[in-house]
Amino acid sequence: MVKYNYSDVKDWNYNLSNINKVMYNGNEVYRKYTTDDIHPQIHNYLAFVAIEDGTFTFSGTSRDEIHNSVSYSLDGGETWVALENGSNTPTVHAGETIMWKGTNTPVRPITTGATEDNVGIGEFKSTSKFNVEGNSLSLLFGDRFDEVTPVEFIAYDYAFDKLLRGCNKLVDASGMIIAGTILPTRCYTHMFWHCTSLTKAPVLPSTMLTMNCYLGMFKGCTSLVIPPRLNATTLAAGCYAEMFEGCTSLRNAPELPASVLAKDCYDSMFKGCTRLNNVTCLAIDKSAQTPTSGWLINVSSTGRFYKPRGVEWDRNSSGIPSGWTVVNI
């Protein structure tokens, strides 16, 4: 790895695939990656960028022979330090970045389908405001995260369940890489639950979903105004259930492009989104069991609902709210 100071790189045309700016001892340091590097692109490790001075903790899950933990780097990946479970990192100053990696195995519920706290790989906490960026797979596969195939990842059910739950200092997650074109079961369940300061969500690239993969992902994110696009056209049981429940700043739902719905796929999806007044749902086949149960409970009393012409909906909180205007498209 070759280091450069600002004077060396100020006239370069930046290509983020091989150049990365990091903070090192309070100074900006630039790195250019060469074919001799033994690490993958550093800027893609999961990383927290401090907005204010503060510390972070990680509480890893454990069961039987599984004992999950992480390491952190404060110098752009030059050195890594194992973080004792539940302990604080050194202070990360405003503008600095802390990077994360680990080789972890998600804990699964003792009873299949049960909701438990001790599942996934663990949870982060913060004492101050921060943004998150980079690839969460570095928490599962360490340095080889950018070599992971979909076949490998799909075996990691519950991988990031509650990973950032209650991080009410998290502001921006738009730079986070949500991996997986085909997802493991419940992999991102409740990932940002009650992140009440979150204003920007990450991109969700998957087009083929699995059971409960995004269950409650942004539940209680009361500052979220612009939701992520939902591109998936192949749904699964409970895939978007409770996804935006309680997002009280949300006015416009993401377009829902799937033509065929799955069991409970939109169950309680926008429940309690008290300002929500605009939904576009392109479903044609709604014959699955309770696909939209309670999805529009306690939303705005007036709004607009866009749907394909000829598709019939009940006028209630599990269909189209009675006070909303229906627009056929």
pLDDT tens by residue, the chain, 329 residues: 334 343 443 333 333 333 333 333 344 433 333 333 333 333 489 999 999 999 999 999 999 999 999 999 999 999 999 999 999 999 999 999 999 999 999 999 876 554 567 899 999 999 999 999 999 999 999 999 989 988 899 999 999 999 999 999 999 999 999 988 889 999 999 999 999 999 999 999 998 899 999 999 999 999 999 999 999 999 999 999 999 999 999 999 999 999 999 999 999 999 999 999 999 999 999 999 999 999 999 999 999 999 999 999 999 999 999 999 999 99
- Look up the pTM and report it: 0.85
| CA gap 29, 158 in Å, rounded | 36
Residue among 34, 124, 26 at smallest CA distance from 76 = 26
Please return the burial class of 170, using the count of CB atoms within 10 Å of its CB with bins 0-12, 13-18 and 19+.
Answer: buried
| CA gap 310, 308 in Å, rounded | 6
Q: Are strands 304-307 and 325-328 parallel, antiparallel or unpaired?
A: parallel
| CA gap 74, 283 in Å, rounded | 47
- Break the chain into its structural domains and give their ranges: 204-329
Residue among 179, 251, 189 at smallest CA distance from 214 = 189
Please return the burial class of 289, using the count of CB atoms within 10 Å of its CB with bins 0-12, 13-18 and 19+.
Answer: exposed
